Amino acid sequence: MTKAQFNRNDVIKQSTQLFWKNGYHGSSMQQIFDATGLKPGSIYLAFGNKEGLFKESIQCYGTNSLESIQQTLQKSPSIGLGVISILDKMLLESENSDYCSCFLIKSQLELSQDATQLNQTIKEQLLQIEKTYGQFIAQAYGYDKQQIYATQLMLQIFGIRVYGYLEKSTVALRQALPMSLPWLPWNEAKGGGWAN
């Protein structure tokens, strides 16, 4: 018996970077070989094919995103403030010159019409994130608000992830979000430049 000589998580991370940046069809297996330093056989033995590698990349990204959200919301003084800090982080990311939006959203739009089952995997990850937000929202604002607030939040998140590409100042976004999500404690959030 011989153990694999590479770290599976490292390979997934490197592949995720590539797929996230260039998309599924925009990334070639050759680029994967170059980025990971592995030969075709190793990749294909470990992941089956390009679709399998992509699927694991999506799942890895989704799991990390979910954990990050949960940790942020749990650590924050309140769930509302936690949500605000997540939104703030997204705006800061969008100001970066090599902004890549959200891997799940990009992939969802690219692969929705594809014959593969990938788009089901992606949809599951996105719905899982919405569900998680919903659970925290229910806890803080009541079960009757869960669905509508979660939907509203996802709507704004999706919006930010696309709007970020227009390379406009985030000033307008920092004015718009408090109006669109009036139930969040914007006045308690210090230093984000939020209008309220």
| Least distance from its own copies to the Cβ atom of residue 56, Å | 21
Give CB contacts under 8 A, 24+ apart, made by 23-29. 23/106, 23/107, 23/110, 24/50, 24/54, 24/107, 24/110, 24/111, 24/118, 25/110
Nearer to DNA, 6 or 183 (CB): 6
| Least distance from its own copies to the Cβ atom of residue 150, Å | 8
**How far is it, in rounded angstroms, from Cα 110 to Cα 119?**
9
* Binding residue for its own copies, selected from 71, 112, 116, 139, defined by CB under 8 A: 112
* Binding residue for its own copies, selected from 13, 70, 154, 185, defined by CB under 8 A: 154
Residues 42-61 that bind DNA (CB under 7 A): 42, 44-46, 49-51
Nearer to DNA, 19 or 149 (CB): 19
| Least distance from DNA to the Cβ atom of residue 51, Å | 6
Residues 13-42 that bind DNA (CB under 7 A): 27-31, 38-42
* AA identity, residue 168: K
* AA identity, residue 18: L
Q: Which does 49 bind (CB under 5 to 8 A by kind): DNA, its own copies, none?
A: DNA
- Cα separations (Å) of 81 from 57, 107, 110, 177? 30, 29, 33, 14
Residue 179 binds to its own copies (criterion: CB under 8 A): yes
**Nearest CA to 133 among 64, 86, 77?**
86
